[in-house]
């Protein structure tokens, strides 16, 4: 289980960086950032898959490809598109806050799995995570009022709705991915990650052609810069290939109720990276929130270690 926790934390550290890219490249549309990231992910995945395809292809069933398509749309294309919209309208902290509720959703669903630890044993860790999210939420909006920042309310509502949509999309991915990997132990975590990248890349390429083709779409042309290409390549190799591979490795070693809570590391690292980007230290409530979030995950880990799954339902 220790390896699973380490892999999950490392995946969160890598994934936390995706929240900053929409701030760095704020002049680009969500569609440009989403298709750019995943076309690059698809190309990298294809290159890494080439030596494996001859042995891997015959082992894949039609159901595997359907699952890959659903996971590619929910956990990659839709999730990142909505994340970019949310970050551009409400910022890194509120977006990471809402998406940080993924562990609660995944744990509530995972508690219904056979041999899962009874939900009552995870009550306090879950409450700590919710309390941490509430602290961040209050601090974000209270600090905006204190600073006298005016913002278009319709834009803020759109950003929060986009963050909520990203929360639901990633929850669907986390649950579906964990369940399918548990049914296919013969598929390696790295192989599954690359297959997801390949299919996601093909979908992103089709979307890019439809969206940016002058003959099909009226979307304004966007000037591709060296910084855009560099960051898309970094996203393809870092969060998409390495991060997803780490997460799949963690998923194989942990029950869904615990693995879902490790997603909180993505939120924590996104906040920390945001503080570095803004050149400031966390405020008091932000510091309390991080302690609560990490404390909830550590308490859940301790509960799983002391009470193995399948013996707590009574």
pLDDT digits (tens, 9 = 90+) for 57-76: 888 989 999 999 999 999 99
Report the C-alpha gap between 5 and 205 in whole angstroms: 34
Indicate whether 123 pLDDT > 90.
no
Burial 141-174 (b: 16+ CB within 10 A, else e): eeebeeeeeeeeeeebebbbebbebbbebbbbbb
State the average pLDDT for the chain. Answer: 81
Q: Up-side HSE of residue 52: CA atoms within 13 Å toward CB?
A: 17
Residue 309 has what pLDDT? 47
Contact 227, 20 (CB under 8 A): no
Q: Which of 17-31, 146-160, 262-276, 296-310 has the highest mean pLDDT?
A: 17-31
DSSP code for 243? I
The better pLDDT of the pair 134, 66 is held by: 66
Q: How confident is the model at residue 144 (pLDDT cuts 50, 70, 90)?
A: low
Question: Residue 277 — pLDDT band, cuts 50, 70, 90?
Answer: confident
Is a pLDDT exceeding 80 seen at residue 181? yes
Q: How confident is the model at residue 310 (pLDDT cuts 50, 70, 90)?
A: very low
- 118: DSSP letter: P
Distance CA(268)–CA(177), nearest Å, equals 22
Condensed to tens digits (0 to 9), the pLDDT of residues 5-53 reads 888 889 889 988 888 888 888 888 899 999 999 999 999 999 999 998 8
Q: Do 47 and 241 touch, CB atoms closer than 8 A?
A: no
How much of the chain, in percent, has pLDDT values that exceed 90? 21
| Weakest-pLDDT range from 77-86, 253-262, 271-280 | 253-262
**Average pLDDT for residues 142-149, to the nearest whole number?**
56
Distance CA 160, CA 141 (A): 12
Q: Closest by alpha carbon to 312, among 109, 161, 304, 44? A: 304
pTM for this prediction: 0.80
């Amino acid at each position: 289980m220790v390896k699973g926790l380490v892999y999950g934390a490392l995946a969160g550290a890598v994934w936390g960086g995706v929240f900053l890219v929409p701030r760095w490249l704020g002049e680009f549309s969500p569609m440009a950032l989403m298709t750019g990231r995943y076309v690059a992910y698809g190309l990298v995945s294809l290159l890494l898959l080439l030596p494996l395809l001859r042995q891997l292809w015959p082992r894949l069933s039609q159901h595997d490809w359907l699952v890959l398509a659903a996971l590619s749309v929910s956990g990659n294309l839709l999730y990142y598109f909505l994340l970019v919209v949310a970050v551009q309208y409400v910022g890194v902290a509120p977006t990471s806050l809402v998406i940080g509720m993924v562990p609660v959703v995944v744990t509530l669903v995972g508690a219904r799995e056979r041999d899962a630890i009874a939900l009552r044993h995870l009550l306090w860790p879950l409450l700590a995570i919710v309390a941490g999210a509430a602290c961040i939420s209050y601090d974000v909006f209270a600090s905006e009022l204190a600073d006298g920042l005016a913002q278009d309310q319709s834009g803020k509502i759109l950003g929060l709705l986009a963050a909520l949509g990203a929360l639901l999309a990633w929850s669907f991915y986390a649950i579906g991915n964990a369940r399918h990997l548990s049914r296919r132990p013969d598929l390696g975590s790295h192989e599954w990650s690359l297959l997801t990248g390949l299919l996601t890349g093909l979908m992103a390429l089709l979307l890019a052609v439809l969206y940016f083709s002058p003959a099909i779409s009226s979307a304004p042309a966007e000037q591709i810069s060296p910084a855009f290409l560099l960051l898309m390549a970094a996203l393809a190799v870092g969060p998409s290939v390495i991060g997803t591979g780490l997460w799949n490795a963690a998923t194989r070693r942990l029950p869904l109720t615990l693995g879902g809570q490790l997603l909180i590391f993505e939120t924590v690292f996104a906040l920390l990276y945001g503080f570095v980007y803004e050149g400031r230290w966390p405020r008091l409530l932000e510091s309390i929130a991080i302690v609560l979030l990490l404390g909830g995950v550590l308490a859940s880990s301790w509960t799983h270690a002391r009470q193995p799954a399948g013996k707590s339902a009574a």
